[in-house]
Structures are given as C-alpha cells and as structure tokens.
Structure 1
C-alpha cells in the first residue's frame, strides 16, 4: 500500500509539473481591433480619411484603400498562424506579413518583413520585403540569380508550389503559416504551397494589408510553438 501511495504522489507531481501547451492567441477578437495599430501613409496629413481596416458583422475587413497595413502591437516568434479569409467582392491583392519590423521600409509603404501572398490566384507566394528567404529550385521560382534582391526594383517574388489550392471566389480560404526558427511553411486549404529556410529574420510583428481589394477575415489565430515540432 505504501508503494502504491508513493506512486500516486509521484504521478500527481509529474502531472502538476508537466509543461502545459501554450494557449491559442486570438489576434482578432471578433469585436474590435484591440492589439493592433494601423499604418496608413495617406492618413498622416488627413485625420478624416476613410478607415482602411474596420470590424463589420464580427469580421475584420481590409477595405483595400487607403493602402497600408494593420500591424500587431506585439512581437511573435515560433508559432503557427491560422487565417481564414475571402475576397468580399472583386478578387484582388492582399497579404499576411510575418516577422515585420521597421515601418515603411519599402516604397515608403511596406514594413520590413516577409510577405505571404494572398492575391487571388497566387496565394502562398513569398515576397521579400527588405528581408530574404531561400527555397528549393530558387532560379525556377525566382528568376535569374543576378536579379534577386530585397529592395525596390529587384526580383522579390518567390512563386508558390501550386496553382489550384484556393477556393472559388466567395468561399472561405484557410491559410496556415508555420514559423519555426528560420523556416517558414505555408498551407492553403491543407495543401503545402510554400516552404522556405535560412530566413534572415526569426521574429517580429504580424500584419495584414490593405492593397486595393476588400478582404474579409473571420479568424486570425496564433498558436505558440514551445519546441521545434514542425508539421510534416
């Protein structure tokens, strides 16, 4: 009986001290834009300008114009970011930026970051914004090496791996972005659409764009990763 009692105490001790999995962070709470701030250059000298980002019917809506970014107040590292989105009207351009830092570092608009493209037909492309990343088959997917770069006028786009992962217009798309150390993986509707490594940055803010098209978001959730356990 004493042995059983000791085993029970040991089991309770282990259970109480076992590292708990971190809870998912709802970056968008469905109510307001708490935890975010907008950076819209056209608003610098016009306080009455239309809002680029609003909450409508419990959805976060990027209005497309005026163009700019909605950026988290906090910095994140090692996580899985799940985004559910759809184009509300005409298809167009938008993106999720990870590892964002210096604002307006490119074209006096885009923060230093690595963009995961959401543009209709190209979801999952990487765009290098004063940061860089490598992928397999770089020349095929980025063009001639001598033209690569991370600033204005350079080949900053790295094409994704698929052409048909997006849902038909009007339907919700699920995008999963996994950032672990210097690697980034992207899934669109469960298809692995991009994988990069040797990223020049491993942490930063997260941002969504207003870039010409109205886009609705119903989920932007972040699950921290405590250990290096990437999805296969």
Structure 2
C-alpha cells in the first residue's frame, strides 16, 4: 500500500511539474514572439533576421535586433539548446526585458546572459544591474561600474571551458528567482547573480551579427 501511495505521489508531482512547463517555441512558427529590428522597420526590403528552418528557430544575425516574448515572466527556469550555425560570433538571451531600445537605440532594458562564443555565461547590464561575488575581480574597478554605454557593464562568467566545440549543441539553463539570476551551461555553474534591479519582464533573443540556431525553448514556473 505504501509503495502504491509513493508511486501515486510521484506521478502527481511529475504531472504538476510538467503542467507548469511551457514550450515557448512550437518548431513551426514565431507564435508568442514579436520582432524589434530598427533597420528592418526603417527599410522593409531587408531580410527578416529571425526565421524557422528545419524545425529550428534561427537568428540570422543581421539586421540586428531582438525577438521578444509577448508575455512577461517572473520566478522561472528557462532552458534551451543553441549552437552557432556557421562562424562563431555574438548573441545573447535577455531576461527581465522591458523598455524597448533603451541602450544605443537597440537594446531593451534588461539583464543579458551572454552567448558570445568563448564568453558564454557573462552578464551584461543593460539599464538594469545585478551583483555577483568578487565583483571587482569580475567587473573591474567599482568606480567604472554602470548600466549605460559609458560604464563597465560586463560581469565575467566563472569558467573558461564550459562551451561545446563549434557545431555542437550547448544547453543553457537560467533560473530567475526573485532578485537572483543563476546560469548553468552544459551542467556547469557559470554565473550566480543577486540583487538584480528587475525581477520581471519579457525574454528576448538577439540577432547580433552571427547566425545561431535554437531549439527546445522551455520555461518552467517556480
């Protein structure tokens, strides 16, 4: 009887966890997302930088901009797989995104989790801030810290070898819990931030120069 009760409890817990998980990409469309691409807005003849290809969500890299979730989220785990489809380069995932084009008339107010090749897991502060342990070692002198283009916005990640070889899929997990943002890359803890100045907002994927493929974009409420 006890074994049956425990099994039933496990099934219920599993069902509840699955019911709280949302697939943010259906493999067929950009439903639930919208684009903010300044150059495309100015010239509609330019190519669309976010497309569906072979069941994957692809950021072509240019023209530069963002693919932004229609919904806002707080207290969640975001997991996805990504890889550079060609040459390595720059890209990122923005959490707690809000005011559009708040930096350089391009980047929404947010906290970026960097995907740039060889720097994946860095934080970049975009008109929002976050703290980590050993801040001066990882961000530079305190007097240079800031959240706009004239200040030191980068907070280096904790590891040097967590990325897979080019062409292979990387798995990233981002946990946003109240004012904390914690990042794992391929199972390694690569950043652990606290005292974030935002705790809720949209999620955005970047087009920032390099072609990147995404799949298995899952959000689980905490």
Pairwise TM-score range, normalised by the shorter structure: over 0.9
5 Å-filtered alignment, 1:53-64, equals: 53-64=50-61
Report the CA distance between 1:195 and its aligned residue: 0.2
Cα distance in 2 for partners of 1:81, 1:97 equals 11
1:81 alignment partner in structure 2 = 78
1:159 alignment partner in structure 2 = 156
2:25 corresponds to 1:38: no
1:216 alignment partner in structure 2 = 213
Among 127, 134, 139, the alignment partner of 1:130 is: 127
Report the CA distance between 1:104 and its aligned residue: 0.2
Cα distance in 2 for partners of 1:72, 1:20 equals 24
Among 105, 108, 117, the alignment partner of 2:105 is: 108
1:65 alignment partner in structure 2 = 62
Report the CA distance between 1:29 and its aligned residue: 0.9
Report the CA distance between 1:221 and its aligned residue: 0.7
Cα distance in 2 for partners of 1:26, 1:32 equals 12
Report the CA distance between 1:20 and its aligned residue: 3.7
1:176 alignment partner in structure 2 = 173
Larger radius of gyration: 1
The residue matched to 1:165 in structure 2 has which SS? coil
1:28 alignment partner in structure 2 = 25
5+ residue gaps, structure 1: 1-11, 226-232
Cα distance in 1 for partners of 2:99, 2:90 equals 22
Per-residue CA deviation, residues 184-216 of structure 1 (Å, 9 max, x unaligned), is 000000000000000000000000000000000
TM-score (norm 1): 0.88
Cα distance in 2 for partners of 1:27, 1:152 equals 31
TM-score (norm 2): 0.92
Cα distance in 2 for partners of 1:39, 1:120 equals 23
The Cα RMSD (Å) is: 1.5
Segments of 4+ in structure 1 off by > 6 A? Answer: none
Report the CA distance between 1:23 and its aligned residue: 2.4
The residue matched to 1:77 in structure 2 has which SS? coil
Cα distance in 2 for partners of 1:110, 1:91 equals 21
Report the CA distance between 1:91 and its aligned residue: 0.2
Report the CA distance between 1:48 and its aligned residue: 2.0
Cα distance in 2 for partners of 1:82, 1:29 equals 15
1:204 alignment partner in structure 2 = 201
The residue matched to 1:80 in structure 2 has which SS? strand
5+ residue gaps, structure 2: 1-7
